[in-house]
Amino acid sequence: MANINFKHLRYFWAVAKEGGVAQASAFLNVTPQTISGQLKLLETSLGVKLFKKSGRNLVLTEAGQRALGYSEKMFQLEAELEMALLGPASNQGSLFRVGVVEAIPKLIAYQMIKPVLDLADPLRLVCREGDIDTLLADLAVHKLDLVLTDCPVPPTLRLDLFSHPLGECGTIFFGVKDLADRYRKGFPDSLTGAPILMQSKESSWHSDLRRWFQTHKIFPSIKAEIEDSALLKVFGEKGLGIFNAPAVIEHEVIRQYGVIPVGRAEDLRVRFYAISAERELQHPGVAAITGHFRSLLSSMEGGSG
């Protein structure tokens, strides 16, 4: 197969996005004959049909749909390259890409990442959320600069990555005033029969909480298992059950959701890690995140001791 002509690909993209040759002609300010000819050359080069007729309209074939997806990615990279090479000198080298594992509560992710935006030499932050396997794979090929997570690199992943412990804290159970008044006395034994909202099975905190219940011989009534940490707190805010959150965000949870502590579980530990492709954390954005969050956890643990 011959090399793909970038101009031909742009004409194809315009036809697909604008809905036809005539519309693409107006959008690109070239004649319809030019676009039709370039499309034929592209299809000949690729050896596949990208469009088929449906009445008087052109619709994408299956191969065309795949080609559209790849072409959009290519044009996005083109735009990023232009920005990197032609943009102001102050923006060059300033991109900082952080991946946050879905299990990390949004309030904690904010506390972790905010120091990056407060640096004297500002960085342009790109923040992505996803599952740990996908984020670590992107980190390994340098699509990310750092991954924030609640566990070290899984031993099953054969990637040359480094786990940096940021610290740990205990857990606090929260509920609306009615639930807190009802279940605070005798905590944690009082949680037997209590309505509990917990993280979904995909979260490592789900299994940790299950083990904690078993250790303390607590048999709660599990009302819901919710993947999104913010949605779980909203359910708790509405009085649908008691939920747990890391102690490091106690004040933010109380202020934002109007709940109060039911009890503190210092033996239910939550751990945080920064994972990088380098053994030494030298990037200024990485240093800002790790230094600030370690200090935050350390001062909180010292204050509770």
Taking residues 101-116, what's their average pLDDT?
87
Give tens-digit pLDDT for 189-223.
999 999 999 988 877 788 899 999 999 999 999 99
* Domain boundaries 168-269, CATH class: alpha beta
CATH number of 92-167+272-304: 3.40.190.10
DSSP-derived pairing of the beta strands 195-199 and 221-226: parallel
Which one is predicted more confidently, 172 or 4?
Answer: 172
Asked if the domains at 6-86 and 92-167+272-304 fall in one CATH topology, the answer is no
Question: In 10 A of CB 212, how many CB atoms?
Answer: 19
Phi, psi angle pair for 35, to nearest 5° = -65, -45
Sign of CA dihedral 235, 216, 294, 274: negative
Overall pTM > 0.85: no
Q: State which amino acid sits at residue 255.
A: R
Spatial contact of 52 and 10, defined as CB atoms under 8 Å apart: no
| Domain with residues 6-86, CATH architecture | Orthogonal Bundle (1.10)
Q: Which two tokens stand for residue 42?
A: 């592209």
6: part of which helix (H) or strand (E)?
helix 6-18
Q: Which two tokens stand for residue 187?
A: 């905590």
pLDDT of residue 91: 46
Q: Please report, for the chain, the start and end positions of each structural domain, with discontinuous segments joined by +.
A: 6-86, 92-167+272-304, 168-269
Of 279, 150, 142, 136, residue with least CA distance to 207: 150
Specify the residue for token string 């004649």: 31
Give tens-digit pLDDT for 89-101.
444 447 888 999 8
Of 225, 165, 234, residue with least CA distance to 199: 225
265: part of which helix (H) or strand (E)?
strand 260-276
